[in-house]
């Protein structure tokens, strides 16, 4: 059966744990990558900007012997006259998997329904599962495990935080949010946390959003001081300098943001390998 990677909650927890393990294994083989994607092609479609998702999927595919086709907004007929159904059916005849960044989550699910090949969620307005698996990998590397850890989220309630909420049940960590939309205060959320995580207050497509109400939720030295001494600071990037986090914290010794960004590459390889099992990839 074809495997999509769209909603963490639709995937067996054991499969997600297997993907994480594969990511660690492939990171260990960084300089001798197994050529498991030979002869396979990934198409990537974006209706929004991307640096990390775009590059990490492209390099992941190529390092393991595969090929990519990249279509940014306006490069295809999707969003114009051609329907999602037709696009999905045609692409299924050319490539082996589709990675798509599409604002509308329901549209992505429709694309997956009509595609005969795996569809991978490169971010919607509702979720960002590839990012969260890279975050899980980073926490495992830095703290030795995820289960039982306290992860404190400060700032907006958005696609990334919503995916963290799903991951908390799957990976067994405590997820505490402090946002203008709930009553938990930032210092209370950060208290004795293992991980402090935030994201931009203005997600892609939200230009013109008022940021005043988010100001009390900035991650700064006081927030880090409330967390455990061993706590790490995470951010999916890009940072809006220096709104949601101070420069001192983002560039400080507890920040792991670039390891987190690197792990996108290793995780994309593992997600692709899992999705491409039907195409003969065995890992």
How many chain residues are in contact with ligand NVA, going by CB under 6 A? Answer: 8
The interface mask with ligand NVA, positions 155-174, x = CB under 6 A, is: ---xxx--------------
Q: Is 121 in the site for ligand NVA (CB under 6 A)?
A: no
Q: Give the interface segment with ligand CP, choosing from 51-59, 174-182, 240-248, 268-276 (CB under 6 A).
A: 51-59
Using CA atoms, how far apart are residues 131 and 167, in angstroms rounded to an integer? 11
Q: Which does 200 bind (CB under 5 to 8 A by kind): ligand NVA, ligand CP, none?
A: ligand NVA
Q: Is 131 in the site for ligand CP (CB under 6 A)?
A: yes
- Whether 218 is catalytic is no
- Whether 236 is catalytic is yes
β-pair partners for 97: 42
Using CA atoms, how far apart are residues 190 and 209, in angstroms rounded to an integer? 26
Residue of 63, 199, 266, 268 marked active site = 199
Using CA atoms, how far apart are residues 78 and 82, in angstroms rounded to an integer? 6
Using CA atoms, how far apart are residues 207 and 156, in angstroms rounded to an integer? 14
- Whether 222 is catalytic is no
Q: Is 132 in the site for ligand NVA (CB under 6 A)?
A: no
Q: Which does 51 bind (CB under 5 to 8 A by kind): ligand NVA, ligand CP, none?
A: ligand CP
HEC string of 196-263 equals EEECCCCCCCCCCCCCHHHHHHCECHHHHHHCCCCCEEEECCCCCCCCCECHHHHCCCCECHHHHHHH
- Whether 191 is catalytic is no
How many angstroms separate the most distant Cα atoms in the chain? 55
- Whether 264 is catalytic is yes
- Whether 254 is catalytic is no
Q: Which is nearer to ligand CP, 194 or 262 (CB)?
A: 262
> DSSP letter at 194?
S
The interface mask with ligand NVA, positions 176-205, x = CB under 6 A, is: -----------------------xx--xx-
Q: Beginning with the edge strand found earlier in the chain, give each strand of the sheet holding 119-121 in spatial order.
A: 67-71, 41-46, 97-101, 119-121
Main-chain phi, psi angles of 121, to 5 degrees? -80, 105
Distances (CA, A) of 111 to 4, 123, 177: 11, 14, 32
Residue of 264, 266, 268, 275 marked active site = 264
Contact set with ligand CP (CB under 6 A): 50-53, 123, 131, 236-237
Active site residues: 101, 128, 131, 199, 236, 264
Contact set with ligand NVA (CB under 6 A): 158-160, 199-200, 203-204, 236
């Amino acid at each position: 059966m074809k495997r999509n990677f769209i909603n963490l909650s639709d995937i067996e927890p054991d499969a997600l744990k297997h993907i994480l393990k594969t990511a660690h294994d492939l990171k260990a083989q960084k300089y001798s990558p197994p050529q498991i994607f030979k002869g396979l092609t990934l198409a990537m479609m974006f209706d929004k900007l991307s640096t990390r998702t775009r590059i990490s999927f492209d390099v992941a595919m190529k390092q393991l012997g595969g090929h990519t086709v990249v279509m940014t907004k306006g490069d295809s007929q999707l969003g114009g006259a051609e329907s999602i159904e037709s696009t999905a059916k045609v692409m299924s005849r050319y490539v082996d998997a589709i990675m798509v960044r599409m604002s509308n989550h329901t549209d992505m699910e429709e694309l997956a329904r009509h595609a005969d090949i795996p569809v991978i969620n490169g971010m919607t307005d509702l979720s960002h599962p590839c990012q969260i698996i890279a975050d899980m990998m980073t926490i495992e590397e830095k703290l030795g495990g995820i289960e039982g850890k306290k992860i404190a989220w400060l700032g907006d309630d958005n696609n990334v935080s919503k995916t963290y909420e799903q991951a908390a049940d799957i990976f067994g960590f405590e997820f505490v949010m402090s946002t203008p939309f709930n009553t938990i205060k930032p210092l209370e959320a950060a208290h004795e946390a293992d991980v402090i995580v935030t994201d931009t207050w203005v997600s892609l497509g939200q230009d013109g959003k008022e940021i005043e109400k988010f100001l009390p939720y900035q991650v700064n030295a006081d927030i880090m001081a409330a967390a455990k001494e061993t706590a790490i600071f995470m951010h999916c990037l890009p940072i809006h300098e220096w709104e949601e986090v101070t420069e001192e914290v983002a560039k400080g010794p507890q920040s792991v943001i670039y390891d987190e960004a690197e792990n996108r590459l290793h995780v994309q390889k593992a997600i692709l390998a899992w999705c491409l099992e039907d195409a003969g990839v065995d890992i």
